Amino acid sequence: MIKRWLRKYLTTVFVLATLMGVFHQHSDLIVHEDCQICTIASSIADGDMPSPKVYLSEVEQVSQTLETNFLLVYTKTLYNSLNARAPPKFS
């Protein structure tokens, strides 16, 4: 009886702690030293070696056009031995 209650309690605590970590965010995208979730996440990610992280706040789109000449080779009629016809387009 007690083991079943303890198992349900620990499962609930684990799920709630996971959800807190998943939905945790700051609007300025900076790790806050006073936030417990930020401290734990940075310790796990850095391997206990604190180092500044760089977040990309603005992504610049760079596009270049590739100009190549293509030679289109095709035939207008295709050989079909079945003489099959498709139904009308409006049906």
* Rounded mean pLDDT, 58-69: 68
Tokens of 69: 């000449």
CA 28 to chain centre: 20
Give the per-residue pLDDT at 7. Answer: 92
CB 16 within 8 A of CB 10: no
- pTM beyond 0.75, yes or no: no
- Residue that wins the pLDDT comparison between 16 and 48: 16
Please provide residue 11's backbone torsions phi and psi, each rounded to the nearest 5 degrees: -65, -45
CA 2, CA 79: separation in Å to the nearest integer? 79
Q: Which residues contact 50 (CB under 8 A, 6 or more apart)?
A: 42
Greatest alpha-carbon pair distance for the chain in Å reads 80
Q: Which tens digits make up the pLDDT trace of 12-46?
A: 999 988 888 777 777 777 767 778 777 777 666 55
Over pLDDT 70: what percentage of the chain? 52
Give the per-residue pLDDT at 17. Answer: 84
